[in-house]
Each structure stands twice: as structure tokens, then as C-alpha cells.
Structure 1
Amino acid sequence: MALPERDILLCRDCCCGTTKKHPDVDHSTQRDEIEALDDPAGRRGPRVRVRVVDCLDECDRSNVVLVRDFTWNPNGRRPKDFWLGGVLSGAATDAVVEWVREGGPVPASLQRHLFRGKRG
């Protein structure tokens, strides 16, 4: 199987995805919408793999989504990592979903969510 074009890591542990820290966020819908992108074979569009992970060690920026884009490097060895923090609204989640499906540069609506992650 070919590498995915994009790999999405959705943080869900102590801070991200919990009503304890963000009681007004619909975490279940956010997870469902991002998981719906999972299509490693590329049958519905780009090859996307979605993984829900325990912790990305960026708790002060919850909810965190890491988009690893392999399309920027034709050799496919090292993806470009896009760290998105504070993804707490339906509009932000929708923007992530649309961007992953369409590709291209990070849309203006997500620019304020970008940050440099500790792991990359």
C-alpha cells in the first residue's frame, strides 16, 4: 500500500477532546467529522489516514490536530507537519476537513491555529 498523501493525528487524552477542559465543544462530532476523512486507499479522494492518539504533548493548545502532508515532498520521505491548536469550533473543524480534502496551502481561516509543535 502506498503512503498516505496526508496523515491526520487527532489528539484525544487528558485535555484534547474532553468536556472537562472544553465543556461547550462537541468533541464527538469533531472526532466523527475528522475520522470520516480516513481513506488510505484514496477511493473517495486523496489518500488520507486518520489516527486518534493519546497525547501530542501540546495540552496548553487543545484541541490539537496534526496534519502531516506527504505531497510537498515528491520523494515522500519526510512530511511537512502542520500543527493546529485551539480547534474548538465547528467552523475550525470544517476548515480542517475541507483543507485536507482539497489540499493546497493552509487556508486563511486556519492561519491563527498554526503553531510550531514540540515534536517537529
Structure 2
Amino acid sequence: MRVTVCRDCCCGSARKVPCLDHDEQIRLLGEVAEVRVTECLDVCDQANVIVVQPTPEGRAAGGRPVWLAFVNDGHATADVADWIRAGGPGLAPLPPILELHRFSGPRR
């Protein structure tokens, strides 16, 4: 499974999100998925943004990428990691707590 983590002008910024160890967030997610760090995803008002991609099995089961906003503390990061361990998009239902973070990504 792949997780895309936005790290640019706002996401990953200690100035905008001071209560999170941004490097630790990437390390924790890297324990359960391949982490791809990217530049701006154009949703700066919702920093920190993470996109969870389904595995091939998850995609075959109907899973699609899930965009998560405001993943700004260790608890939210742990919730994302737990969902990935359970299978992620298409294979495990999105926990209710993560539904609060879910949003539609920008159309490009």
C-alpha cells in the first residue's frame, strides 16, 4: 500500500502545525506502508493532508484513494496506521473517526 504525504508550504510546517512531530508521522506511516512525500497538493487550508492509495486487491474490491485532512496529531496518525494495517481502502471500512478527516481531493 502507498501513502502520499503532503510536505510543502503548509503541510509539514511546524509554523502552521506546531503540535506534531512531522518526521515521526512519516516514520510511523512508513512502518505500515510505502510513504511517498510530495510537494503541495493544493489543499493548504486542510494541512496536514495524507492520501491513502488502495492495494491492487483493494482496488479490485472497489477501493479508491482516500484523502484525509487535518491529520495533525499522533492519535490521528495512529488511526490512519491502524486502518492501513486492517487493509485500507476497499478491504477495511474507514473507521468513523477517520470519516471526520475524509474529504474529496482537488480536481486537476
Q: Fold match, TM over 0.5?
A: yes
TM value normalised by structure 2: 0.84
Instruction: Report the identity percentage.
Output: 39
Aligned partner of 1:74 among 56, 60, 63? 60
Residue 49 (structure 2) pairs with residue 54 (structure 1): no
- Counterpart-to-counterpart distance in 2, 1:119 and 1:68: 16
Number of equivalenced pairs = 103
- Counterpart-to-counterpart distance in 2, 1:31 and 1:99: 16
Residue 14 (structure 2) pairs with residue 19 (structure 1): yes
Counterpart in the other structure of 2:94? 106
Counterpart in the other structure of 1:83? 67
Residue 74 of structure 1: how far off its partner (Å): 2.1
Structure 2 spans left out of the alignment, 5+ residues: none
Residue 79 of structure 1: how far off its partner (Å): 5.8
Residue 56 of structure 1: how far off its partner (Å): 1.2
Counterpart in the other structure of 2:77? 93
Please give the secondary structure, in 2, of the residue aligned with 1:83: strand
Structure 1 spans left out of the alignment, 5+ residues: 1-5, 39-48
Counterpart in the other structure of 1:65? 50
TM value normalised by structure 1: 0.77
Larger radius of gyration: 1
Change (3 A) 1:69 1:119: farther
